[in-house]
Structure 1
């Protein structure tokens, strides 16, 4: 069995014992460039998908670009923590670089199936995705939660074996050959699947772990007419593809956001408000507190809040029939009123750091608000009772908070809350966002089309 994807690697004869410990730092410049290249990669693949559907061909410039990104990535993997096979610093290049210890090539297909292009990258590749997830894992990730943070790593079997090789190298000065063969074989499987998912070939990746640095699936290339080899893409053409892909990405985001805003405009209620879905909040403490500038930013740093948001409407409904209190006051006054009192504070509908939800009936240490909320004069808008309480509020300079409590200031507060705004600027913002997105889409498509124009090969004269 042969494969159009040919991956090879060479293990250094005397790799450094310690260099692998700092390669993460040395690879930072590559990581920055590859970030932008991989942002462009799926956009270029999407453009290629459209071209395949209409012409049955993968535009050569787009093919060379995606192949170049994969080549660059494989060189970085081989140098870094995907293999640690070489200490030779990888070049900043999308080209072949045949002298480098890590090489990758994909045979260019003259014709591709239109039907397969629609299903192979998601449906047909699912079995391989499961295998690749086992080999490559999810990579490194950082999970941060309010109040606590921790760093975890999920690099898959390739990263684990590479770590074993690094430890062996550190203490013995030798890279275990068996680990090298296995790691390269798994990387070969991963990149075969990547090429298939990127629509670069119709040949289904074999379920076969080809071990070793030399690709056993490589075949001798047939002799062709002698031509002067053109580079995979000049710097200008490559930059054009990248910039065009980024423009397409921004354009898709703008068009999607504009369309979403227009849809939101169509959801206005009979009173002209755009309202968030009703959400239930509950806590065993004495109050539910929402900072108004997080729910609807409206402070001195945003002087156009009223023009953009218009009037604010807050609907608070009881859950169990107990009378509720809802009020809006300056944040400083709310801090003084609820200072030292167990309550739950929300920041843009998320629990604020340092404020933990309390279970109903939790020990409250005898602390409670000094007065019932309705007896205070700090509220700009307030309402008390059962059913649905409605607060109409116009954004003003300063910091404001919405407080929901039981009317008798008892603990265990439960309420359904929805926030709406008249948002008078929504239609022009939606139209502008959609128009700008369309301009970026057209500009990105034209730039990619110009950069992807085929070049005429220059034949050499026989001597």
Structure 2
């Protein structure tokens, strides 16, 4: 099926709310994900190495080597599944698979089309400067989460306060009280996660499509927020998706 140019997007982040969800599992997901964190640490180093290897080829030809592209895209795909299972969304209790390949049956999916042509020479690096406002916003958000570890003797107290605020303002609080996931919060979290992935894909030369400064803004945002795809869920719970 053909896709019109204005609807086409080379970095597609899909998510389905995978209910029913446990009221308590979110509290131990950080522990369950230790093997994934170890694997992603090694894969993250490999991601940087692969980017460094691809850069000279991109600089000369404007084309990303296919096998390196498959690896770097796979790392982002793996990370997105882990983020979705853990505190980036908490929208599924299905343990993420250990694979770089696509998992069509998993509720969090990532597809990136390999660009046919990127800017060559100095223009390749200069073009990434367009993403400076987006990168600055990502860094500021990350610093907020890490700030408590940089403040001397108050770090423990602030960490407890930050953790309490995080739980009360995240889907975990609603899950704990009602056993149901807040739909509006689901769309907001997925919108932000999608935006971060698209910014990273641009910065690391996986696409030449720069996302807007505001997550989900632009001509497609209304349709993205309102387009909910239903599928038969487990145990007859309503399913919500964000694409």
Larger relative contact order (CA 8 Å, sep ≥ 6): 2
Structure 2 Cα separation of the partners of residues 183 and 61 of structure 1? 31
Structure 2: tracts of 5 or more residues without a match: 1-5, 226-240
Could you say if the C-alpha distance between residues 162 and 132 of structure 1 is closer, same or farther in structure 2, counting changes exceeding 3 Å?
farther
3-state SS in 2 of match to 1:10: strand
Structure 1: tracts of 5 or more residues without a match: 216-463
Q: 2:127 aligns with which of 93, 111, 120?
A: 120
Q: Which residue number in structure 2 is paired with residue 150 of structure 1?
A: 155
Structure 2 Cα separation of the partners of residues 144 and 136 of structure 1? 15
Alignment of 1:91 onto 2:110: no
Tell me if structure 2 keeps the 8 A contact 1:82–1:162. Answer: no
Structure 2 Cα separation of the partners of residues 135 and 171 of structure 1? 28
Aligned residue pairs, count: 208
Structure 1 Cα separation of the partners of residues 168 and 99 of structure 2? 24
Task: Give the drift of 1:201.
Answer: 1.1
- When Rg is computed on C-alpha atoms for both structures, the one with the higher figure is 1
Deviations, residues 411-456 of structure 1 (Å, cap 9, x unaligned) = xxxxxxxxxxxxxxxxxxxxxxxxxxxxxxxxxxxxxxxxxxxxxx
Q: 2:12 aligns with which of 6, 13, 17?
A: 6
Structure 2 Cα separation of the partners of residues 150 and 190 of structure 1? 27
Tell me if structure 1 keeps the 8 A contact 2:91–2:186. Answer: yes
Tell me if structure 2 keeps the 8 A contact 1:83–1:183. Answer: yes
Q: What's the TM-score, normalizing by structure 2?
A: 0.77
Query: Which shifted more, 105-114 or 125-134?
Result: 125-134
Tell me if structure 1 keeps the 8 A contact 2:63–2:118. Answer: yes
Deviations, residues 321-361 of structure 1 (Å, cap 9, x unaligned) = xxxxxxxxxxxxxxxxxxxxxxxxxxxxxxxxxxxxxxxxx
Q: Which residue number in structure 1 is paired with residue 60 of structure 2?
A: 54
Structure 1 Cα separation of the partners of residues 187 and 140 of structure 2? 17
Query: Which shifted more, 173-182 or 49-58?
Result: 49-58
Structure 1 Cα separation of the partners of residues 30 and 14 of structure 2? 23
Structure 1 Cα separation of the partners of residues 145 and 138 of structure 2? 12
Q: Which residue number in structure 2 is paired with residue 19 of structure 1?
A: 25
Tell me if structure 2 keeps the 8 A contact 1:48–1:58. Answer: yes
Task: Give the drift of 1:13.
Answer: 2.1
Task: Give the drift of 1:135.
Answer: 5.0
Higher helix proportion (structure 1 or 2): 2
Tell me if structure 2 keeps the 8 A contact 1:3–1:205. Answer: no
Matches within 5 A, 1:126-165: 126-133=132-139, 135-137=141-143, 139-140=145-146, 142-143=149-150, 148=153, 150-151=155-156, 152=158, 160=166, 163-165=169-171
Tell me if structure 2 keeps the 8 A contact 1:195–1:201. Answer: yes
Alignment of 1:34 onto 2:40: yes
Task: Give the drift of 1:169.
Answer: 0.5
Structure 1 Cα separation of the partners of residues 190 and 64 of structure 2? 28
Task: Give the drift of 1:14.
Answer: 1.1
Tell me if structure 1 keeps the 8 A contact 2:167–2:173. Answer: no
Structure 1 Cα separation of the partners of residues 56 and 188 of structure 2? 37
Structure 1 Cα separation of the partners of residues 64 and 114 of structure 2? 9
Q: CA RMSD in A?
A: 2.4
Q: 2:242 aligns with which of 197, 214, 235?
A: 214
Could you say if the C-alpha distance between residues 23 and 185 of structure 1 is closer, same or farther in structure 2, counting changes exceeding 3 Å?
same
Structure 2 Cα separation of the partners of residues 138 and 80 of structure 1? 18
Q: Which residue number in structure 2 is paired with residue 172 of structure 1?
A: 178
Task: Give the drift of 1:79.
Answer: 0.1
Tell me if structure 2 keeps the 8 A contact 1:120–1:196. Answer: no
3-state SS in 2 of match to 1:169: helix
Higher strand proportion (structure 1 or 2): 1
Q: Which residue number in structure 2 is paired with residue 77 of structure 1?
A: 83
Q: 1:196 aligns with which of 196, 202, 211?
A: 202
